[in-house]
Chains A and B, each alone.
Chain A
Amino acid sequence: MILVLVETSPAGEAVEVSREALTFARTLSAEGGGVPVDAVLVGEPSADLAATLAAYGVRSVHALTGEAFASYSGAAWASGVQSVRGSSVVVLAAGTPRGNEVMAHVAAREGVAMAANVLSFSGLAPFVVTRQVVGGAALEEMRLSDRPAVFTVAGHAVEAAPAEVPGAGEVVVHAPAVAAADLVARVVSSEEPEPDLSGTLKSARVVVGAGRGAGSAEGFAELVELTELVGGSLGVSRVVTSLGWRPHHEQVGQTGSRISPELYIPCGISGAIQHWAGCSTAKNILAINTDPDAPMVTKATYAVIGDLHEVVPAINAEIRRRRA
């Protein structure tokens, strides 16, 4: 079988990237002659969640329960995944922080390779995956000869889609024994993130972006105003946080947040690969830049050529005028 680690939201739903990973697993299953796809998750799933997983073609939902899973430990989760993996030929997760961490633990414990942030596969014998490297500036074809093949699926590499034929979605509850050594490094406390931290950035429908073109820490007033007028979040490039103009939690890019809003409005951002890695999955991009040849402009859906300090106040005024 193919075993997919599914992560759930605080509301107990399967997160989108996990549903993408299930969709990826199903494509792989179809190529491999219909190998069953099972899901593994922490905590007992609600009836709704089990129904969602069934709709995504899942045969069995393995629920890991017990004190060992009461707070997060990468090693304990990996131990749980191993306890239900049986004769799985593939074990995969979404390329989230936890997905990458747990799969790395699984691979290390099984003594097999692991491929992070896979976009696609191009053959089963040998099994070759293509994954993102150098922050998306290059791709790597990697052979995964070990069994189980362990990897994570890059966010938005595929679109999450329910199966044509649903699976049984049968819930199987497990309470596996977890070694004490696997519980040494576990979360001892977690606090709610502050409301304006990157959580809202990642879920915003509109993100207004700002780069070096903002000019100074004081140059953000009109950008913040535009952000408020469109009910969005502010995201910035690495240079902006390096210069101390804005806090790190607003950073979009390879070492910041990865965003997929309906509309991203990068203002004065040239579009270095490090930044592009964080915003390339935005559905629409409206670039505002003085340089018509900047990578961000040529890759954008829409562009305005001009200085953000002239263009953004005019947009703000136009929005206010139409609302009046």
Chain B
Amino acid sequence: MRVLVCVKRVVDSSSEVVLTEDGQAVDGRYAGFTMSAHEECAVELAVQVAAATGGTATVLTLGDADAVEQLRAALAVGCTEAVHVVADGSTFGPADVAREIAAVAGDFDLVLLGNDAADSGDFQVGIRLAYELGRPVVNGVTNVSVDGDVVTASGAGTDGHETYRVPLPAVVTVLEGGVEPRYPTVPGRMKAKKVPIDERPPVAEPVGPSRVRLLLPPPAPSNVQVLGKGADAAPAVVDLLEQLGVLAR
């Protein structure tokens, strides 16, 4: 079977975020970039499902020329084909992105995405994609396996560990935590460099993300009260625990 996994080049949120002057995007000159954590797990699941079913895993991204780095990262860990919709992703809203993925996803049995992107945090692209394709969608799971023409997906839900069984073709959005993304091997990286990337233009003009502007939250003034240094601070800490009434007796 054919699995498509969608990834997005996002700013690494462990580094400080700087915005562009027009407030429309994060300034990439000062940022590190990565793939969303949920998508690293989606890639791992795509590769596992492809291996288990004797199928293939294809990675897709929508982004500028630099986003090829994230495609290569997915190719290095087991995806064998890559599609790059070349566009300025910051001008695409979630409905636009879903439409672009749908234009590629028609031939695939299973489409995996992250539950939400680490940057825009829209929580909706996978669901919109499912409606574009007229396919069922399971959201926010950590484990995915395929048996015949049924996908079983499960994860920690509101009512405990929840399991879904859905006929293919289907869309599944993934959360971090169920699988350990494998590290790329050196031969994997070498091979990834040689895979031709299927570059395509977007199929439609984007409507846009309805963004007025981005802002940085005001830095909170530091009001920290230092209780002491090293082991000598222990009595002051326990005084505090008692004062807050959190010390179980």
The reply to whether chain A is a binding partner of chain B is yes
Q: Is the CB of B224 within 8 A of A302?
A: yes
**In the assembled complex, B30 has its CB within 8 A of some CB on chain A:** no
Most buried by B among A74, A96, A97: A97
Partner of A273, one of B14, B164, B175, B249: B14
A142–B214 Cα distance when bound, in Å, is 9
**In the assembled complex, A139 has its CB within 8 A of some CB on chain B:** yes
- A204-254 CB contacts (< 8 Å) to partner B: 205-206, 229-232, 238, 244, 248-249, 251, 254
B57-98 interface mask toward A, CB cutoff 8 Å, 1 = contact, 0 = none?
Answer: 000000000000000000000000000000000000111001
A-B contact count (CB 8 A): 255
Nearest A residue (CB) for B137:
A185
Partner of B157, one of A190, A292, A306, A311: A190
Nearest Cβ in chain A — how far from B201, in angstroms?
24
Q: Is the CB of A187 within 8 A of B163?
A: yes
Stretch at the interface among B46-54, B103-111, B112-120, B191-199: B112-120
Q: Is the CB of A193 within 8 A of B116?
A: no
Q: Is the CB of A306 within 8 A of B229?
A: yes
Nearest B residue (CB) for A306:
B230
Interchain Cβ contacts under 8 Å between A and B, 11 examples: A100-B124, A108-B98, A135-B118, A139-B214, A230-B246, A244-B180, A298-B224, A304-B233, A306-B233, A319-B238, A322-B238
B130-142 interface mask toward A, CB cutoff 8 Å, 1 = contact, 0 = none?
Answer: 1100001111100
A285–B177 Cα distance when bound, in Å, is 26
Partner of B19, one of A138, A152, A231, A298: A138
**In the assembled complex, A48 has its CB within 8 A of some CB on chain B:** no
Q: Is the CB of A134 within 8 A of B26?
A: yes
Stretch at the interface among A22-30, A109-117, A161-169: A109-117
Which residues of the other chain, B, contact A298 by a CB distance below 8 angstroms?
222, 224
Which residues of the other chain, A, contact B186 by a CB distance below 8 angstroms?
none
Nearest Cβ in chain B — how far from A204, in angstroms?
10
Residues of A within 8 A of B (CB): 7, 10, 72, 74-75, 96-98, 100-101, 104-105, 107-109, 113-117, 128, 130-145, 152, 181, 184-193, 197-198, 205-206, 229-232, 238, 244, 248-249, 251, 254-256, 262-263, 272-274, 284, 286-287, 292, 297-307, 310-311, 313-315, 317-319, 322-323
Partner of A188, one of B127, B165, B180: B165
Given contacts A101-B140, A188-B165, A189-B163, contact A274 B157 (CB under 8 A): no
Partner of A109, one of B94, B131, B166: B131
Partner of B215, one of A141, A256, A301, A310: A141
Nearest A residue (CB) for B223:
A301
Q: Is the CB of B138 within 8 A of A190?
A: no
- B153-188 CB contacts (< 8 Å) to partner A: 156-167, 170, 175-177, 180
**In the assembled complex, B29 has its CB within 8 A of some CB on chain A:** no
Nearest Cβ in chain B — how far from A277, in angstroms?
8
Given contacts A286-B237, A314-B234, contact A72 B212 (CB under 8 A): no
Partner of B237, one of A137, A139, A304, A323: A304
Q: Is the CB of A141 within 8 A of B212?
A: yes
Given contacts A108-B131, A133-B120, A138-B19, contact A263 B11 (CB under 8 A): no
Most buried by A among B127, B136, B216: B127
Given contacts A109-B131, A255-B176, A314-B234, contact A301 B212 (CB under 8 A): no
**In the assembled complex, B189 has its CB within 8 A of some CB on chain A:** no
Nearest Cβ in chain B — how far from A137, in angstroms?
4
Q: Is the CB of A187 within 8 A of B162?
A: yes
Nearest Cβ in chain A — how far from B173, in angstroms?
9
Nearest Cβ in chain A — how far from B57, in angstroms?
22
Q: Is the CB of B234 within 8 A of A303?
A: no
Which residues of the other chain, A, contact B210 by a CB distance below 8 angstroms?
113, 115, 142-145
Q: Is the CB of B234 within 8 A of A311?
A: yes
Most buried by B among A100, A134, A191, A284: A134
A275–B211 Cα distance when bound, in Å, is 26
